[in-house]
Structure 1
Amino acid sequence: MADLTGKKVLALASQGLEQIELTSPREALEGAGATVTLASPDGKEFQGMEGDWEKKDFFTPELKVSEAKAEDYDALLLPGGTLNADAMRLNKDARALVRAFLDAEKPVAAICHAPWLLIDSGVVEGRTLTSYESVAPDLQNAGANWVDQEVAIDGTLVTSRNPGDLEAFNAAIIEKLA
């Protein structure tokens, strides 16, 4: 496994987060030595979910999305969850962060419904991406080439379909960050 000691990753999440899509990558990144900081739109505690229906754990972010700066981190993690992804795509600071990370050629990793934020950030046209299957038409309508595979890597952008792909997603993030 790659040594990510000293690497800092920013994760954006809010109410309705698909919990395993945050906890699994965070554990993998921290296990490789990286530090993961959690930011939410309002900086307040929120509850994760399993499959959009079953309530899971509470998470307390370290900062608000508006307080985060791309230059302070080495990568951006965007977990899914329908409600979380829908809230994030409407957040102007989250959209600005996505663009700033990609402009700086830093890894951005999005899974499941999180590519909605990529669409609304204006960064998918001409890129090859994957996502949860219901997001595929949105990506295609925004000019992306959608593929049905565990992980799609396009430059510094890493995307994945769903929690069943987390092992491959986590490995791709770590490789991209190393």
Structure 2
Amino acid sequence: MNLLSHTPLLIIDVQKAFDDPKWGERNHPEAEANLKLLLAAWRASGRPVWFVQHLSRSESSLFHPDQPTCAFKEGLEPVEGEPVFRKTVNSSFIGTDLEPSLRRLGCEQLVIAGLTTNHCVETTTRMAGNLGFQPILVEDACATFGRRGPDGTYYPPEQIHEMTLVNLHEEFARIATTREVLGMV
């Protein structure tokens, strides 16, 4: 399967806020390097590159627009002409122009990567599938953090990441690696 020349790469919430140690243990330390490979391939092929940025209304949040941690991570910033969809909730489709932009482009597919797997990436991927798009989630260009369940049980990031992929697989998205996606470009 090859990607069409108008298939966008959607990079979700790759912001400095996620470098803060408060998040705890994280999986896929290579996610940003894989994102850079995808970004370079998309730009070289002239395919659309789109960014999503999470903005919090809380002034104390790492994602508040006045905080330096709200900025994109180094090497993963948009360049002139690459749209940024700014959101305040988990879904990149809510309160943004993402869906109409995809429809105007006439695309069926989109490639999704970013942070965090089980929050904004998962929510956006599910909605993309529900809206009739064919998302491809690049599993090793995403990452998440460990979390505690309601009973206090700790779930490591690898387990949360894998369960998110299981939940999305075949019903909402095609799951692929960076290498597989680069082979489609």
TM-score by length of 1: 0.51
Q: Does 1:15 align with 2:22?
A: no
Q: Does 1:72 align with 2:101?
A: yes
Q: In 2 relative to 1, CA 22–13 (structure 1 residues): closer, same or farther, beyond 3 Å?
A: farther
1:107 Cα deviation from its structure 2 partner: 2.0
1:77 Cα deviation from its structure 2 partner: 1.6
Q: In 2 relative to 1, CA 78–142 (structure 1 residues): closer, same or farther, beyond 3 Å?
A: closer
Is the CA contact (8 Å cut-off) linking 1:70 and 1:97 kept in structure 2? no
Which has the bigger relative contact order, CA under 8 A and spacing at least 6?
2
1:47 Cα deviation from its structure 2 partner: 4.2
- Quick check: which has more Rg, 1 or 2? 2
Aligned equivalents of 2:86, 2:181: Cα separation in 1:
25
Residue-pair matches, total: 130
Residue type of the alignment partner of 2:96:
E
Aligned equivalents of 1:143, 1:37: Cα separation in 2:
22
1:35 Cα deviation from its structure 2 partner: 0.7
Counting strand residues as a fraction of each chain, which structure ranks higher? 1
Of 101, 116, 120, the match for 1:85: 116
Aligned equivalents of 1:96, 1:68: Cα separation in 2:
16
- Residue aligning to 1:125: none
- Residue aligning to 1:46: 71
Q: How do 1:5-154 and structure 2 match up within 5 A?
A: 5-16=5-16, 18-42=31-55, 46-48=71-73, 56-57=74-75, 59-60=77-78, 62-65=84-87, 66-73=95-102, 74=107, 75-79=110-114, 84-85=115-116, 89=119, 91=120, 95-103=122-130, 104-112=132-140, 114=142, 135-138=157-160, 144=166, 154=170
TM-score by length of 2: 0.50
Query: Structure 2: where are the runs of 5+ without partners?
Result: 19-30, 56-62, 88-94, 146-155
Q: Runs of 4+ in structure 1 displaced over 6 angstroms?
A: none
Alignment partner of 2:112: what SS?
strand
Alignment partner of 1:34: what SS?
coil
Identity of matched residues, %: 9
Query: Structure 1: where are the runs of 5+ without partners?
Result: 49-55, 118-133, 146-152, 161-165
